[in-house]
Amino acid sequence: MKIAVCVKQIPEGSSRIDPESKRLDRSGEGALNPFDANAVEEALRLRDAAGESEVVLVSMGPARAQDALRKALAMGADSAVLVSDEAAAGADLVATSYALSKALEREGADLILFGQQAGDSDGAVLWAAVADRLRLPVVSQAAGVTHENGKVTVKRQTEFGYDVIEAPLPAVVAVSDAINEPRYPSLKGIMGAKSKPQATVSLGDLGVEPERAGEQGSRTEVYALGDPPARGESKKIEDDGSAAQVILDFLAEKRLV
Amino acid sequence: MSTLVFLEHHGDELLKGSLGVVTKAATVAGGDIAGVVLGSDVRALAEGAGNFGAAKVYVADDPQLEAPLSQPRVDVLAQLIGDQGIDTVLFANSVLAADVAAGLAARLDAGLNWDLVDLTQENGKLVGKRPALQDSVYVDVGWTSEPRLALFRSGSFDPSETGGSAQIEDVEVVLEEFSTAARMVDQAHEESEGPSIEDAPVIVAGGRGLGGPENFTLVEQLAKALGGAVGATRAVVDAGWYPYATQVGQTGKTVSPKLYIACGISGAIQHKVGMQSSGVIVAINKDANAPIFEFADLGVVGDVHEVVPRLTELVKQRKGG
Ligand SMILES: Cc1cc2nc3c(=O)[nH]c(=O)nc-3n(C[C@H](O)[C@H](O)[C@H](O)COP(=O)(O)OP(=O)(O)OC[C@H]3O[C@@H](n4cnc5c(N)ncnc54)[C@H](O)[C@@H]3O)c2cc1C
Ligand SMILES: Nc1ncnc2c1ncn2[C@@H]1O[C@H](COP(=O)(O)O)[C@@H](O)[C@H]1O
């Protein structure tokens, strides 16, 4: 079985939007989107349970995103493909899903996994757009995935409790951050990652037309940045052993105890 | 403007979130609001939307739409939007609606803005308000083409009754093969087990930061001392640490107690929407950068295993217990 995992590099720590370009500032350090570590972990488990299987990472982002891919390779993924192109900058859901689906088409994976959300954009939507472009079944919010006889069975939480959904492969599945505990890369994994295949492809390589890429291929725009509504007084303290007393005093002052 | 609102239902009720979006749409776009209900045996349901401002409700009534799966709905909506020349499609966020909206965005190459908390018309242009980066910045967003798709954050608008009635129009259901490949084996039903936390005056909620299910005794003891109930995040519910009935957030309960104490909870948006209207919010988290501190009235950077039991002791002492 071939499993593709879509992963993203996001800015490390707290991020900012550049007031000039109105895009997320990606100039600082980058990290593997933490929610995608769950997708990688799930792929590794499914791979190892199925035997004779491989896990390929698929990502779109700046060239430096290879660093984030290396971390997922160190966890145990087998190879990585990064779609990287100046013309891809500023892509929204429409443009990103198009480019990624073109990259995924080339991989011909049996199962395509996504993380729960990109920690920078909090969309939690990309999988459904990619699945539609690939004309594959999709199941999201997976809190459990099993694979048997050419199909996946997914347990997912909705607003009403838990559904169980089945889909034939090839299929797209987005996993929740509670599905597993991602492993830490071992030293051996980290060393080994350096020699694993990490390809970079351009939009041209994938046959993505320039007018369907990046800002040009996007259908949404940002007009202005503003401050959040003012909030009431708030207080933040560091526990030095007295925090419980501070909380109690605060509750007493508010007449809550 | 020709606006369509995706009306989601569960059992034989339209969801309050969808009706809130109808009400909002009617104030932004004027009278020309249509709704669409997709499901099996849903015609009677559709009529109810008239009372919230929908002039027309399209009904896709087909056994193949019985299960709340997104892909068949994308097929029907894509057809309807094209046939009717609809330029704006609005969704109240939900697990189902998000997947429908994103599938539709790809199918129609249409812009989707998500997590909106407001929508206005400015000089004839539709502008959405989207909190971003843990709600630290509010971004005005728009669309460069039609149709425009928008997903609204849970709980953004309350429905209000207009006393109107809607004209009902049936739509054809033609589905793609891949759209019907996923199959609902067991659909979620209303959870009847477990404690009710909606009316509790105090909620002490635990998240993954507790470290394991056994440590829920810490929040249980604090809740007991304060005369409150215990809440949980999805992460710990999905992991089987605590029952679904206690989950607070987008796919759990919406609560507004006088006091909400978050223990080892990061404060993800999906959790926040379920508890942000609490009277007073206290958060204990060992990561000083946790998003929960952005909306807590009192934030304590500390270890729950130390702070929570000590607080329980102090509360008990004060109450003379
Ligand atoms: C469609 C959708 C719907 C969702 N619905 C919901 C919902 O209804 N409810 C919900 O809660 N979530 C929901 N989520 C999930 C949400 O995005 C988060 O993943 C989830 O809320 C995280 O739970 P958590 O805070 O327990 O875990 P984490 O995000 O892992 O946070 C744990 C926190 O504990 C802190 N911590 C660790 N150890 C300690 C310690 N010893 N002392 C103090 N602090 C410590 C850490 O610093 C961290 O901030 C939904 C997500 C999606 C995509
Ligand atoms: N640029 C990208 N490249 C590859 N995968 C991505 C990218 N952006 C998002 N994803 C995947 O899509 C999921 C949901 O992202 P989003 O819908 O943007 O919140 C993430 O958890 C990743 O698995």
Whether the CB of B235 sits within 6 Å of ligand 1: yes
Q: Give the 3-state secondary structure of chain A.
A: CEEEEECCEEECCCCCECCCCCCECCCCCEEECHHHHHHHHHHHHHHHHHCCCEEEEEEECCHHHHHHHHHHHHHCCCEEEEECCHHHCCCCHHHHHHHHHHHHHHHCCCEEEECCCCCCCCCCCHHHHHHHHHCCCEEEEEEEEEEECCEEEEEEEECCEEEEEEEECCEEEEECCCCCCCCCCCHHHHHHHCCCCEEEECHHHHCCCHHHCCCCCCCEEEEEEECCCCCCCCEEEECCCCHHHHHHHHHHHCCCC
Cα–Cα dist B265/B287, whole Å:
10
Q: Does residue B13 sit at the A interface (CB-CB below 8 Å)? A: no
pLDDT mean across residues, chain A:
95
Interchain CB contacts (distance < 8 Å): A and B: 273
Confidence of residue A58 (pLDDT cuts 50, 70, 90): very high
Cα–Cα dist A157/A42, whole Å:
17
pLDDT mean across residues, chain B:
95
pLDDT of residue B192: 62
Residue A199 in tokens: 């390809």
Of A128, A160, A165, the CB nearest to B190: A160
- Across the range B10-35, mean pLDDT stands at 92
Nearest chain A CA: its distance from B255 CA (Å): 14
User: How far does the centroid of ligand 2 lie from the alpha carbon of residue B275, in Å?
Assistant: 27
Residue A47 in tokens: 């791979």
Q: Does residue B253 sit at the A interface (CB-CB below 8 Å)? A: no
Q: Work out whether strand B118-122 and strand B125-132 pair parallel, antiparallel, or are unpaired.
A: antiparallel
Say if residues A128 and A119 touch (Cβ distance below 8 Å).
no
In this model, does residue B236 exceed pLDDT 90? yes
Whether the CB of A117 sits within 6 Å of ligand 1: yes
Whether the CB of B254 sits within 6 Å of ligand 1: no
Query: Amino acid identity of A98?
Result: Y
CA A253 remoteness from chain centre = 43
Interchain pair B300, A246: CB under 8 A: yes
Interchain pair B302, A236: CB under 8 A: no
Whether the CB of B72 sits within 6 Å of ligand 1: no
Query: The complex's ipTM?
Result: 0.96
Of B144, B182, B186, the CB nearest to A139: B182
Using a CB-CB cut-off of 8 Å, the residues of chain B touching A135 are 176, 178
Please name the residue whose Cα sits nearest to atom 47 of ligand 1. B287
Interchain pair B299, A126: CB under 8 A: no
Instruction: List the alpha helices (DSSP H) in chain B.
Output: 16-29, 43-47, 70-84, 95-108, 216-226, 234-238, 269-272, 304-318
Domains annotated on chain A, with CATH = 2-212 (3.40.50.620)
Residue A36 in tokens: 């995608």
User: In sequence order, what are the beta bridge partners of A157?
Assistant: A162
Please name the residue whose Cα sits nearest to atom 48 of ligand 1. B266
Say if residues B127 and B185 touch (Cβ distance below 8 Å).
no
Q: CA angle at residue B139 from A178 to A84, to 5 degrees? A: 65
- Across the range B244-262, mean pLDDT stands at 96
Find, among A162, A164, A185, A179, the residue nearest to A46 by Cα. A179
DSSP state of B239: T
Say if residues B54 and B5 touch (Cβ distance below 8 Å).
yes
E-strand spans in chain B? 3-7, 9-10, 13-14, 33-39, 56-61, 88-92, 111-116, 118-122, 125-132, 137-143, 148-152, 167-170, 183-186, 202-206, 229-232, 259-263, 280-285, 298-301
Whether the CB of B215 sits within 6 Å of ligand 1: no
Using a CB-CB cut-off of 8 Å, the residues of chain B touching A254 are 259, 280
User: How far does the centroid of ligand 2 lie from the alpha carbon of residue B293, in Å?
Assistant: 26
Say if residues B170 and B39 touch (Cβ distance below 8 Å).
no
Q: Does residue B189 sit at the A interface (CB-CB below 8 Å)? A: yes
Confidence of residue A6 (pLDDT cuts 50, 70, 90): very high
Taking each helix axis from N to C end, the angle separating B70-84 and A126-134, rounded to the nearest 10 degrees, works out to 80
In this model, does residue B191 exceed pLDDT 90? no
Q: Does residue B299 sit at the A interface (CB-CB below 8 Å)? A: yes
Using a CB-CB cut-off of 8 Å, the residues of chain A touching B190 are 160-161
In this model, does residue A237 exceed pLDDT 70? yes
Closest atom of ligand 1 to CA, residue B290: 49
Task: Give the alpha-carbon dihedral of B94, B95, B101, B107, to 10 degrees.
Answer: -170
Residue B150 in tokens: 């928008």
DSSP state of B153: P
pLDDT of residue B227: 95
pLDDT of residue A64: 93
Domains annotated on chain B, with CATH = 3-180 (3.40.50.620), 202-319 (3.40.50.1220)
Closest atom of ligand 2 to CA, residue A39: 23
Burial per residue of A86-105, b for 16 or more beta-carbon CB atoms within 10 angstroms, e otherwise:
ebbebbbbbbbbbbbbbbbe
pLDDT of residue B195: 73
What residue in A sits closest to B225 (Cα-Cα)? Answer: A257
pLDDT of residue B55: 94
Nearest chain A CA: its distance from B187 CA (Å): 5
In this model, does residue B193 exceed pLDDT 70? no
pLDDT tens profile A175-198: 999 999 999 999 999 999 999 999
Q: CA angle at residue B122 from B120 to B125, to 5 degrees? A: 90
pLDDT of residue B321: 57
Q: Does residue B295 sit at the A interface (CB-CB below 8 Å)? A: yes
User: How far does the centroid of ligand 1 lie from the alpha carbon of residue B69, in Å?
Assistant: 26
Of A128, A226, A245, the CB nearest to B70: A128
Who's near A53: CB < 8 A, 6+ residues apart? Answer: A1, A2, A3, A46, A47
Using a CB-CB cut-off of 8 Å, the residues of chain A touching B298 are 234-237, 246-247, 250
pLDDT of residue A210: 94
Whether the CB of A115 sits within 6 Å of ligand 2: yes
Q: Exposed, middle or buried: residue A35 (CB in 10 Å: 0-12, 13-18, 19+)?
A: buried
Give the 3-state secondary structure of residue B12: coil
Q: CA angle at residue A48 from A43 to A49, to 5 degrees? A: 100
Interchain pair A233, B297: CB under 8 A: yes
Q: Does residue B243 sit at the A interface (CB-CB below 8 Å)? A: no
